[in-house]
Structure 1
Amino acid sequence: MKTTSKLEAVCRRANEDDIETLFHLIQGYAQKGIMLPRSKEVLARQIDTFVVAEVEGEVVGCGSLTRLGPDLVEIRSLGMTEGYKGLGIGSKLVNRLIELAKEQAVPKIMALTYAVSFFEKNGFAVVDKEIFPEKVWTDCVHCPKQHACDEIAVLKTIG
């Protein structure tokens, strides 16, 4: 386990050199059934939506921001490498994604998650996922858990 006293995580926009690392990080979560898989081709097409967290030049976390409508974006593919969880790096990633939403003048940010307490700690509130038809009709229709979704919807409104 890494210690926070020695870690300085830097969040930056992802680039093509990060695709392989993103693929393996996301795949690890997908194999556990807690994140949708993303192919390398999809990652390459969507690389501009991703941010990564680096510690000493190594990518240890990622997240993406996907527009679902004119006033709504979704945090997706938020994950950390084992050994780096619980050190505040995930919150740094979320804060960077919130900054990107502000830059795009999008007032609402949502996520579907199993880590409800993490999102609540970062200012999100639990909401009914049915209030997001944009999400249901773009992604949920393709999800294997479509009719038995156990993820919790969270929402943050930003000024």
Structure 2
Amino acid sequence: MREGMVMSVVCRPALKEDVEALYELIQGYAAQGIMLPRSREALTRNIDTFIVALDGERLIGCGSLCRLGSDLVEIRSLGIADGYKGQGVGSKLVDALIAEAKLQGIPKVMALTYEAAFFQKNGFRIVDKEIFPEKVWTDCVNCPKQECCDEIAVVRIIEPAEKNEEISFAQM
């Protein structure tokens, strides 16, 4: 990737046409054991929770928000295509996901991650997983790593958007 290319990267809500590219990107991470796999059916069903990053027409990154309660969402399936890592694409996706949580009036955004430093750079702080019973009882209860989870919990508190405040993905 050439220097400065990240400026051409655009984030937008995912479309049904993105499912195959999302599936391939997520499966690459899942094969390494660093992301939960998602079926094409699950991606299609939850497409409205995803934001994608594009370099021209090429899908180069994704992330989704999963509502865990009235005041909490989780960033899930955050991944960047090889060749684009370390170029600011992940931060653009996190900004877009935070903007979406803000528009939905959700003040807390959490993630479970192996990349705590990345999230800290993006305004999150490390916390104990146990403060998120919503997450533990929704997903962790079925996870094979439940008893020996090595992911790090991070959280960011945000201010909800004003009623008349609009956030455009084109700005992301």
TM range (shorter): over 0.9
1:4 aligned onto 2:13: no
Q: Distance in 1 between matches of 2:34 and 2:144?
A: 12
Pairwise CA RMSD: 0.7
CA distance in 2, matches of 1:34, 1:139: 15
2:163 aligned partner: none
Equivalent residues, number: 158
Which residue in 2 is equivalent to 1:157?
A: 157
Does residue 21 of structure 2 align to residue 21 of structure 1? yes
1:39 is aligned to 39
Alignment of 1:39-118 (within 5 A): 39-118=39-118
2:124 maps to 124
Counterpart residue identity of residue 3, structure 1: R
SS at match of 2:62: strand
CA–CA distance in structure 2, aligned partners of residues 132 and 118 of structure 1: 20
Structure 1 segments of 4+ aligned residues over 4 angstroms from their partners: none
The alignment-based identity, stated in percent, is 63
Q: Distance in 2 between matches of 1:79 and 1:3?
A: 20
Q: CA deviation at 1:143?
A: 1.0
Aligned counterparts of 2:4 and 2:152: Cα–Cα separation in 1: 33
Gaps of 5+ in 1: none
Partners of 2:44 and 2:156 lie apart in 1 by 28
Q: Which amino acid counterpart does residue 80 of structure 1 have in structure 2?
A: I
TM-score of the pair, normalised by structure 1: 0.98
